[in-house]
Amino acid sequence: MKIKDILQNNKVTVSFEVFPPKEWAKLADTKKVIEQMVRFNPAFMSVTYGASGTTSGYTTEIANAIMKGGVTPLSHLTCLTSSREKIDSVLDELEDNGVENILALRGDIPKDFVESKGQDFHHAYELIDIIRARGGFCIGGACYPETHPESKNRVEDIAMLKHKVDCGLDFLTTQMFFDNEKLYEFREMCAIKEINVPIIAGIMPITNAAQIKRSIELSNCSLPKKFEKIMERFGDNPDAMKQAGIIYATEQIIDLMANGINNIHIYTMNKPDIAEKIMKGLSSIIDE
């Protein structure tokens, strides 16, 4: 099923993200994780793609496992370090496997990356152009409520986003954020710029102190005082931190829904217990 159809009617949807293993030997473990997660009835499940393209084979395998569990898969695809031929072959593979949804991304710039003249891709919109011209896929893209770390300012970031959406995106998924006010401001900016595709809010449940440091470094997002206090109080107690992180994420989702954001994507980090606890915390809300 196409995600743009799942998002129709403004119904509440909760979806999950998984990442592929780094080596084939671990594929069976990841498939077990998926078997457990599909039981919680996500609206769809996304599978990430290594920026260097090294895990591309696993992405299709994982998408197949998600479909086998009766859930719609969304395959991420990055382009910066890929050739046009490589992208065409991944698109062929996804199509042959019945994967209908792609999150089209540039990918983070690898540390040792040097721009070359013959480089086929520089930005996500070039990948979106190719997928749209080929036809048949529902296409999503990434957006950043607190602006992309490489953007000079928010005005430039939103202008680039508008261009990207106009290249043929069907929906957007946000970078993680911990302060819902940031998303509400971003939603207004998008409305002013006539970015009218559905925006799926990406929620990262922070369940340990090391994870928050890594997440903030990667995403450039801010931490509200309330969350800092939770870290100060429970950061050294793994069980307490996990419980508090799950409750914080659940409360964030409830507030988003109360403010009319009906589509939530949870960065479940291959942890079925976290997906389960959040879904239990929302059971009557999702069935409303």
Annotated catalytic residues are 17
Which residues from 144-203 bind ligand FAD, rule CB under 6 A?
A: 148, 150-151, 157, 160, 163-164, 173, 175, 202
If the CB atoms of residues 202 and 272 are measured against ligand FAD, the closer one turns out to be 202
Among 14, 43, 94, 106, binds ligand FAD (CB under 6 A): 106
* Largest Cα–Cα separation, the chain: 55
Q: Using the rule CB under 6 A, is 76 a contact of ligand FAD?
A: yes
Q: Least CB distance from residue 55 to ligand FAD, whole Å?
A: 9
If the CB atoms of residues 48 and 207 are measured against ligand FAD, the closer one turns out to be 48
Q: Where are the alpha helices (DSSP H) in the chain?
A: 3-6, 27-38, 56-68, 84-96, 124-134, 154-166, 180-192, 209-219, 225-234, 238-258, 272-281, 283-287
If the CB atoms of residues 144 and 230 are measured against ligand FAD, the closer one turns out to be 144
If the CB atoms of residues 105 and 279 are measured against ligand FAD, the closer one turns out to be 105
Q: Least CB distance from residue 175 to ligand FAD, whole Å?
A: 4
Site string for ligand FAD, 111-150 (x = CB under 6 A): ------------xxx----------------x-----x-x
- Separation between Cα atoms, residue 145 and residue 73, nearest integer Å: 24
Residues with Cβ within 8 Å of 177's Cβ and at least 6 positions away in sequence, in order, are 145, 146, 183, 201, 202, 221, 222
Q: Which DSSP helix (H) or strand (E) runs through 265?
A: strand 263-266
Q: What's the DSSP call for residue 76?
A: E
